Amino acid sequence: MESSPLRRDIERDYRGVISDNRRWERFVHRPGDIFVCSPPKCGTTWTQTIVVTLLFQPGDPPAPVMSLAPWLDARFNPIEDLVANLNTQPHRRSIKTHTPADGIPWYPDASYIVVARDGRDAFMSLLNHMRSMRPHVVSSLAASAVAEGIPLGEGGVPPIDDVHAFYAWWLRYGPWFNHLTTFWAHRDEANVLFVHYDDLNADLAGEMRRIARFLGIAVVKTDWPRLVERCTFASMKSRAEEIGDFERIFQGGAESFLYKGTNGRWRDVLTLDELAQFEKASLERLPPGALSWINRGMQAHTETA
């Protein structure tokens, strides 16, 4: 199948120890591709699972979710292996990215699902995520990045031992603000859908139906309860081997990666001054509409759906 032309080329490099958006140069697009786009720890794996569940409704995907729908930018696996995997898939494909919108290619015949979450919740989840990564994995990635001429990243190594130092680093260097801002510019385009993490928590069935409509995927009415159940946080955690190989990268495996899935843990951690810093940064760095949407979750659907 021939690939369709780019609607817009990649505009900016996002290269670091964990991910490198130049890997997209090896990607061969197909019409109908689905891209799940989010900042880290905002419901990416959850949304990937929903998409795979909708694509393989009998419950028979040929591989775990994270292998079937790989994180293309991530440097954990050789890009040649990821591209070969995607090129041999005969079905409609799904790909994950944490790169902001100006760092990935845009295709008019692809679907972009943008998932976001309150930044303070994303911060707390990211801290647990980074603390759980196996040290030898991080060291290996850092060494290979240096060998490839990839900068180690603005801000240096995140200070994960101290929650308040990490918060200061995240507020200044983390990707959350820029990711939401760059994708917000595309919110009115027909092939872009915004999904709020809070809405997945509050109305998983409704959000799955909304995603299915957006992707043009038909579902028999009587099948919905079974499909929704497969995408609950508890179900995903109980069959972690169907989601991904967590042990290779994370200490504690799925228990660490699929941690709690809850919001509001920052309330007992961040100081009033730190919360004020977040509010100030949000006002300065997010478009007003994006700030309203991220703060209001479900109530904003009528404006973005």
* Extents of the domains making up the chain: 21-304
> How much is the mean pLDDT over the chain?
87
Helix (H, G, I), strand (E, B) or coil at 113: strand
List, in order, residues 6 or more apart from 19 with CB less than 8 Å away: 71, 73, 74, 75, 98, 99
Q: What pLDDT was estimated at residue 237?
A: 84
Question: H-type helices in the chain, by residue range?
Answer: 44-55, 65-68, 79-88, 119-132, 135-147, 163-173, 176-184, 197-202, 204-215, 224-230, 233-238, 254-257, 272-285, 288-296, 301-304
Lowest mean pLDDT across 72-81, 145-154, 182-191, 263-272: 145-154
Confidence of residue 251 (pLDDT cuts 50, 70, 90): low
C-beta of residue 130 within 8 angstroms of C-beta of residue 40: no
CA count, 13 A, side-chain hemisphere, 213: 9
C-alpha angle with apex 278: 276 to 281, nearest 5 degrees? 110
Q: Please state, as a whole number, how many other Cβ atoms lie within 10 Å of the Cβ of residue 143.
A: 11
pLDDT digits (tens, 9 = 90+) for 34-82: 999 999 999 999 999 999 999 999 988 999 998 999 999 988 889 999 9
Tokens of 64: 């775990």
pLDDT digits (tens, 9 = 90+) for 287-296: 999 999 999 7
C-beta of residue 305 within 8 angstroms of C-beta of residue 210: yes
Which is the catalytic residue, given 29, 91, 98, 179? 98
C-beta of residue 94 within 8 angstroms of C-beta of residue 6: no
Answer yes or no: 179 catalytic.
no
Rg (Cα) of the chain, in Å, rounded?
19
More confident residue, 82 or 255: 82
Confidence of residue 298 (pLDDT cuts 50, 70, 90): very low
Confidence of residue 156 (pLDDT cuts 50, 70, 90): low
List, in order, residues 6 or more apart from 190 with CB less than 8 Å away: none
Whole-angstrom Cα distance, residue 305 to residue 161? Answer: 40
CATH superfamily of 21-304: P-loop containing nucleotide triphosphate hydrolases (3.40.50.300)
pLDDT digits (tens, 9 = 90+) for 167-213: 999 999 989 999 999 999 999 999 999 999 999 999 999 999 999 99
Location of structure tokens 């070969």: 84
Whole-angstrom Cα distance, residue 192 to residue 177? Answer: 18
Alpha-carbon dihedral 10, 13, 16, 19, rounded to 10 degrees: 0
pLDDT at 300 over 60: no
